[in-house]
Structure 1
Amino acid sequence: MENITREFEDVKNKADIIKGLSHPIRLCIVKGLMSDEGCNVSKMQDSLDIPQSTLSQHLAKLRNLGILEGQRNGVEVNYYVVNEDAKKIIEALF
């Protein structure tokens, strides 16, 4: 029974990652960060042409899921994709 519980947790974690990537903007953010590692909010906002508040909400969701991490660099925060499952999903899609 313990094995089934552990397996279910793993499946649930992967499903959460897939749900997190299911929005087109979040998918673009992760895909873009994989090719332009360490991008900041200003650069992402210019590339995606969306309001800063919208971008911040999507980044927060991705950080909460453990897909992204931000590293402060002075007044900027540079973002990196840190979740290997998310990377594999993006690579499989593109």
Structure 2
Amino acid sequence: MTTTPTTLLAALEATTMLEIDGLHAWDFSLADELNIECMDGRERKVWRFSKAQVEAATFDESLQSWVVNDGNADHRIICLDAFTPSDEDDSVQD
């Protein structure tokens, strides 16, 4: 059983991919604010959350997701670990 981080900020620092409102997003950054971008078909979707909004996020145990409000609506974020290949060449050298 894995342990859920106590804050969304801690979860974001350890994740490689997000699901936000049902869409997968690997293009996200966390600095002064959380910026998330992804494509929904041909439409580019962008979300921006202030650090205060990220800190105010709550974890929904029943849906295993974080709920963060951008001032207009609640958004559900699930932190995922995506497979990332190594840059090293794993071939055997003779």
TM-score by length of 2: 0.23
Q: TM-score, normalised by structure 1?
A: 0.23
* Larger strand share, 1 or 2: 2
Higher relative contact order (CA 8 A, sep 6+): 1
